[in-house]
Amino acid sequence: FLAQSSRSYRKNGGRMKIITACVYPPIPIRRYDWNAVREGYDEGDPVGWGATEQEAINQLLELEES
């Protein structure tokens, strides 16, 4: 099962899309079901993970601020 969506968030005065995906990995722990990355993701860029789409987005935003 894989569901994808995108949302736009302001960053540094511009708009950069956040791409989210419900990856539902085959593990019994559900806290890693969603991930969030910026459009144009490249290896090494921050990735947010969470049990919900919003948790993944929040973690990505926190990672970008640190």
| Beta bridge partners of residue 22, listed in sequence order | 3, 34
pLDDT digits (tens, 9 = 90+) for 6-36: 666 656 556 678 999 988 878 888 888 999 9
pLDDT digits (tens, 9 = 90+) for 35-48: 999 988 999 999 99
Quick one: which of 31, 66, 63 has its CA closest to 47? Answer: 63
41 vs 27, 29, 52, 63, CA distance in Å?
25, 25, 20, 14
45 vs 1, 27, 34, 56, 63, CA distance in Å?
24, 24, 16, 14, 10
0.85 exceeded by the pTM? no
